[in-house]
Amino acid sequence: MVLTEHGGMDKLVYRADYPDPKAGPGQAVIKVGACSLNYHDVFTRRGMPGIKVPLPVIIGLDVAGEIVELGEGVKNWSIGDRVLINPIDPKRGLTGEMFDGGLAELFLANESQLIRIPDGVTFAQAAALPVAYGTAHRMMFTNGDIQKGDKVLVLGASGGVGTCCVILAKMAGCEVIVGASSQDKIDRLKALGADWGINYEEEQFEKAIFGKYGKPHRRTFEGGVDVVVNFTGGDTWVPSFKALKRGGKVLTCGATAGYDPKTDIRYIWTFELKVLGSNSWTVEDLEALMQMIADGRMEPPIDRIYSLEEAGEALRVIEDREVFGKVIVQP
């Protein structure tokens, strides 16, 4: 699927005549087994301030598949090896943004991007991981340092990042509260391990927290939750501070509902709150996540699988927030 210019869905077109990639020195051509989509792909299609995307470009950050061609000088890899692609290429930038991504039959990778997929992990499972799960893993553990017994509120919990945060928080022994836009999504999140949920279409999530745990007290450590995971921003930002107990922390890795909300900093100093940002992932994060799948400790929820010709519809359901978990495209 080729993005010809920034704008609406009509700017994303399927082109059967798009030239196939050829492996140069230090590169490999991958037969795409699965590509998962993220809200970042929506932003790429629309256009983002300050980021100049070389158009036309094939979008799709998360790619898994099989090596079908090796360029000169590639070591430790063979034709037929199953690989997950690290979307971050130090030389070229971000996959599906600065160079052609995974919504295609073939993908050109630099050797440094290749990560071996363990036995027992499918292409769809592996492709579900990098942007959403890799980001969540780094945010929750490396930077967020969540602890057993923490009360963790996950907002926007039904998407790719959100479902992973729920799974990881439960694995860490936390009490997990989810915010979602329907009771159906809340019920499905409970099936993943969430303890209880808030339908924020029907009630303000911070008031639901007050009702359950008490209103946070600035002179004690009573009331509120320990952690709010907020990658939505927008109107949810200030209420997140209100829901936190003294000494609590907001973990953020994005802003799907608005990146420049007003902030009432009185809550930050009065309640000694911490705001911890997290950006991207490491190869070690992705390897750890794949091993969790291989060991049977984690199963990334996959909502729907589309053909390559249906990739436009796949991106639409993400943009319209109609999904639970990940959306996969398989050529």
Structure tokens at 210: 């007050």
Q: What does the pLDDT read at residue 256? A: 79
Each residue's pLDDT tens digit, 72-124 = 999 999 999 999 999 999 889 999 999 999 999 999 999 999 999 999 999 99
The mean pLDDT value for 58-81 works out to 97
Establish whether domains 2-128+300-330 and 132-277 are of one fold: no
Q: What does the pLDDT read at residue 184? A: 93
Each residue's pLDDT tens digit, 260-311 = 988 889 999 999 999 999 998 999 999 999 999 999 999 999 999 999 999 9
Cis peptide before 56 (omega within 30 of 0): yes
* Cβ within 8 Å of residue 254, ≥6 positions away: 39, 135, 161, 231, 232, 233
Chain-centre distance for alpha carbon 280 = 9
Distance, in Å, from the CA atom of 97 to the CA atom of 92, rounded to the nearest integer, reads 10
Fold of 2-128+300-330: Quinone Oxidoreductase; Chain A, domain 1 (3.90.180)
Indicate whether 250 pLDDT > 90: yes
Each residue's pLDDT tens digit, 118-174 = 999 999 999 999 999 999 999 999 999 999 999 999 999 988 889 999 999 999 999
Q: Where are the domains of the chain?
A: 2-128+300-330, 132-277
Each residue's pLDDT tens digit, 187-242 = 999 999 999 999 999 999 999 999 999 999 998 899 999 999 999 999 999 999 99
Strands 2-3 and 12-13, sheet pairing? antiparallel
Report the percent of the chain where pLDDT is more than 90.
86
Contact 142, 134 (CB under 8 A): no
Contact 65, 123 (CB under 8 A): yes
Contact 206, 230 (CB under 8 A): no
Distance, in Å, from the CA atom of 135 to the CA atom of 112, rounded to the nearest integer, reads 19
Distance, in Å, from the CA atom of 226 to the CA atom of 14, rounded to the nearest integer, reads 46
Indicate whether 325 pLDDT > 90: no
Fold of 132-277: Rossmann fold (3.40.50)
